[in-house]
Chains A and B, each alone.
Chain A
């Protein structure tokens, strides 16, 4: 157990509304990541963070922003949700230099 908690676990929202997903970790890991999972696409990296206020874009960052004001929290924001952002979102951390990712349980977002 890598001490990762995602919230909310499920959310239904309407197109055009803002949405924020939260990833909370309890073990002071430096590196945190947001992925989305869609059928046929596997896991795709949205944004990642190397530390407080240190973030970078991943493969599918358009339409998403992130913030990391504290080590333990990594927030993913959809400023204006679209139906194409309906997905399951996973937060992940790495515990060291080996690159082994540990995932949260996921947040299922439905945009109507």
Chain B
């Protein structure tokens, strides 16, 4: 089946630093979705990408749909403590998700 490899698995950063994480696939995807999960809650959609090469921003978050259609990137600028959580990449079709990136932000 489809596999999504997300990296890094975890990140420990200082408040104010920028964050970058990525997701790669063994298959071509038509949609890339990025979710954030706060502790004890369900994942919430952050950004959705629908076209190869698309670059989309949502506040301090920026995500890109790779031109090969096999990867996507999520960047968070000027991190703050409330950015803590697990970030998942995912795609439509078989609704596959990556393993998640656990982000810890030290004040």
With A42-B6, A42-B88, A43-B88 known to touch, is A100 a contact of B45 (CB < 8 Å)?
yes
With A40-B99, A42-B99, A59-B1 known to touch, is A99 a contact of B94 (CB < 8 Å)?
no
Tally of A-B Cβ pairs under 8 angstroms? 58
Asked whether B31 lies within 8 Å of A103 as measured between CB atoms, the reply is no
Secondary structure of the B contact surface, majority rule: loop
* B73 in contact (CB, < 8 A): no
- Docked Cα-Cα span, A101 to B48, in Å, equals 10
Secondary structure of the A contact surface, majority rule: strand
B71, chain A: closest CB distance, angstroms: 17
Chain B: residues with Cβ within 8 Å of the partner, total of 26
B85, chain A: closest CB distance, angstroms: 13
A11, chain B: closest CB distance, angstroms: 15
Asked whether B48 lies within 8 Å of A100 as measured between CB atoms, the reply is yes
Which of B44, B92, B93, B99 is the one whose CB lies under 8 Å from A98? Answer: B92
Q: Which residues of A contact B107 (CB under 8 A)?
A: none
Which of A43, A45, A58, A103 is the one whose CB lies under 8 Å from B44? Answer: A103
Asked whether B33 lies within 8 Å of A41 as measured between CB atoms, the reply is no
Q: Which residues of B contact A90 (CB under 8 A)?
A: 42-43
Residue of A nearest to B89 (CB): A42
- B: residues with CB less than 8 A from A are 1, 6, 9, 31, 33, 35, 40-45, 48, 50, 88, 90-100
- A: residues with CB less than 8 A from B are 33, 35, 40-45, 48, 58-59, 90, 92, 98-106
